[in-house]
Each structure stands twice: as C-alpha cells, then as structure tokens.
Amino acid sequence: MEKSVLEKYYQKGWLKKGNTNLSAEERLYAGYVFYKSYVKSHVLSVGVIDFEKPAVDGGVLFNSVESKIGLRDYFLRAYETVPKNLRPLLEIVILKNQPLEVPKNDLPLFKAMLCGGLDALAIFYMKEAGYAK
C-alpha cells in the first residue's frame, strides 16, 4: 500500500513544527480524520428510499440522505476552523494527495503553514471528542 503525501511528510519530520502542545503524530492523525471526513461527506450514490416500507434496520434515526448531510456539516465545520490562508495547502496535501511544489528557500514557511492548518484541525477534533476546552 502506497503512503499518502502527508505520511511521507511525517516521516521526513515536517510535522514537528507548530503548536508545542501537539505532537507530530496528533497532526498526522488530524489529517487522517480530515480526509476520512471528506470522503464520508460526499453523496456518491444514495438510492431512492421507499418511505412506505417499514424500517427494520435496528432503529436508525436518519435516512441515508440526512446522514450524509450531517457528515458534510461535520466536515465543513472542521474545514472552517482552518485559517483561510492555510486551506489551499491542506487541500493539496490531504484532499488531493499531491506533493507541494515550492522553492527550497520557502520550504520552512510551507512546513510551518502545513502544521498550522493541522493544528487547527487537531484542536477542533479534540474539542469535538471532549478532550480540549
């Protein structure tokens, strides 16, 4: 299985910048959760629901369309916590899984920006899970 761009950057030590209260592993995990949330938030193929048939699936509260809307809302709330100037960077590295093409002398800045975006995501996910205030 091929590694993602974010995993490669983690192995190169790029994710060690940023908030000193967060580890590189927490930034990597935040990137994983962000990508997974992105994938789940898309309505790829939702079948037509027959509302006349009784539901026998164990008490699901939402139909598939409503649950996808909830997943999309969760993704967008996470996305909105990232500062606007850092969003394109996260889109390239995490959502598109493409390496950054930057001049060598700008690399420290881009590493710090990547970590800043991941820090925002990590803090959001920790708050959602009840680990941070």
Which residue positions in the chain have pLDDT lower than 50? 45, 48, 50
* Residues contacting 28, CB < 8 A, separation 6+: 6, 7, 10, 15, 118
- How large is the greatest C-alpha to C-alpha distance in the chain, in angstroms? 63
Write down the pLDDT at residue 111. 94
Q: How many residues does the chain have?
A: 133
Write down the pLDDT at residue 131. 80
pLDDT digits over 45-72, tens only?
Answer: 455 454 555 555 555 555 555 666 778 8
Write down the pLDDT at residue 70. 74
Cβ-count burial 60-76 (b if 16+ within 10 Å, e if not): eeeeeeeebeebbeebe
Model confidence pTM above 0.75 = yes
Write down the pLDDT at residue 84. 96
Write down the pLDDT at residue 45. 46
